[in-house]
Structure 1
């Protein structure tokens, strides 16, 4: 099977890199997108979700925040604010983050930024879900 290189980059630098990737599944703003070697060049906006990486050695999952993906013939670059592999996720911390976000959303205080709290809740739930793929 033809393969390609995958790089996941945050503002702090590369957090994940793999060669000989057979398939990457991403969550774009317009739906799920699968990429294989030889895919047409594409740039797409990503929403908070997971990146599924299929290699001959197995499947890995990463929790990612919003960002972009750039697809070239033999390389895929994911540019996001944050990314963690399923093994790196601290599930207790994610659960605590979820509870804090829910508390903010349920409070009646005027100074609560509900959009920010919703995004925090979505990120925490995503991290909890991806942690299940360990």
Structure 2
């Protein structure tokens, strides 16, 4: 049975490698490859349900437009909720590990790792700021941006007193840490609270 499953999986991988990954309309859709895989799986292992593939959970993105749109469509998602869903904005600025990264409509496709910091969402003269702890930003060529964060909260909902208290506690833990694990945990706490403090004062 293991050999049969491995054989069906190899078929899926071969099919995926033969595809060119692009948003162009002429590229075969992923469900076609999935259907071939599922049919082969059912022939080889009829008594076990075939596994799901990523395309089973994803909605297809619209094709890359011929002209740059006037708005950027943004999704900001957390593991337990959606903060922004298909919101059209003028620009976002995210705290990438390489520095602050501005994203406008028509931005080149990019994947950026995020560090603790402020994400700002610009709509005309209105700017909404969120503190995000970490995550990734996926910038698609069709002027869509998906920001996946571990935690995110509007800046105006953060209690400055709690931030100062947390910073003092983690600074104390860092100075008294005796093991590498304790030092690492305390350093993370100091870094996050220092960034929170800077976000509130800036």
Tell me which interval the TM-score lies in, with the shorter structure as reference length: 0.7 to 0.9
Q: Pick the aligned partner of 2:182 from 105, 113, 121.
A: 113
Q: Does the alignment pair 1:8 with 2:76?
A: yes
Aligned length: 133
Structure of larger gyration radius: 2
Higher relative contact order (CA 8 A, sep 6+): 1
Deviations 1:24-76 (A, max 9, x none): 11121222211001112211111111112111141121111121001122321
**Does the 8 Å CA contact 2:73/2:87 hold for their aligned counterparts?**
yes
Aligned-partner SS, 1:109: coil
2:119 — aligned with what? 51
Q: Which runs of 4+ in 1 moved over 4 A?
A: none
* Match of residue 80, structure 1, among 134, 143, 149: 149
For structure 1, list consecutive stretches of 5 or more residues without a partner in the other structure: none
Could you give the per-residue CA deviations for residues 4-37 of structure 1, whole angstroms, max 9, x where no partner exists?
Answer: 2222211112134572311111121222211001
- Which of 93, 99, 103 in structure 1 is aligned with 2:162? 93
Higher-helix-fraction structure: 2
C-alpha RMSD of the superposition: 2.1
Supply the distance in 2 between the matched residues of 1:85 and 1:132 (Cα, whole angstroms): 14
Q: Which has the higher strand share?
A: 1
- The answer to whether the 8 A contact 2:97-2:115 is kept is yes
State the TM-score, normalized to the length of structure 2.
Answer: 0.59
Q: Distance in 2 between matches of 1:77 and 1:15?
A: 11
Length-normalised TM-score, structure 1: 0.86
Gaps of 5+ in 2: 1-68
